[in-house]
Amino acid sequence: MTTTDREIANPDPNPETQVFWDAAGQGKLMIKICKSCNEAHYYPRALCPHCLSDQTEWVEAKGTGEVYTFSVMKRAKVSFTIAYVTLDEGVKMLTNIVDTDFDKVTIGQKVKVVFKPSENGQAVPMFTPA
């Protein structure tokens, strides 16, 4: 149980989010920053959840961060680790920790983004120890 052999459900992009998923396919993790209030947010929206301005823009995140919290699912055919990771840009994202011994994952652990294919091949951002 060191990696994710779990089938990953397909995300369902829409016109508001297509950029995020296309970028993931090129190995890039995108977040949104609002030009009006200068706040980053995640998950990405067209209108800023902090001020409702429509002046949001895509920026590429560094792809590094640390584990805010996690849980190792034991009652599943394939054990897996769900987590919130705090990106260096300050926003937290729900994700999986992969390619590591799940019993050694800790809060505060430094992690970096990797991309894993969903059932239809869409690249999905996940994290592994940095």
Partner 1 sequence: MSINGKAYIAGAYEHPTRKAIDKSLPQLHAEVAKGALDDAGLTHADVDGYFCAGDAPGLGPINMIDYLGIKPRFMDSTDTGGSSYVVHVEHAAQAIAEGRCRVALITLAGRPAAEGMATGTKPRIYNQLAPDVQFEFPYSPVVTNMYAMAAMRHMHEYGTTSEQLAWIRVAASTHAQHNPHALRREVVTVEDVVNSPMITTPLRRLDCCVISDGGGALVVVHPDIAKELKRPLVKIRGCASFAKGQDGGKTDLTYTAGRVTGPRAFDEAGLKPSDMKYASIYDSFTITVLLQLEDLGFCEKGQGGKFVSDGNLISGVGKLPFNTDGGGLCNNHPANRGGMTKVIEAVRQLRGEAHPKVQVPNCDLALAHGTGGSIGTRHASSTVIMERE
118 binds partner 1, rule: CB under 8 A:
yes
Residue 79 or 129 with smaller CB distance to partner 1: 79
Minimal distance in Å, beta carbon 79 to partner 1? 9
84 binds partner 1, rule: CB under 8 A:
yes
Specify the DSSP class assigned to residue 49: T
Minimal distance in Å, beta carbon 18 to partner 1? 11
Nearest CA-CA partner of 91 in 114, 122, 54, 63: 63
Q: Are 32 and 42 in contact (CB under 8 A)?
A: yes
129 binds partner 1, rule: CB under 8 A:
no
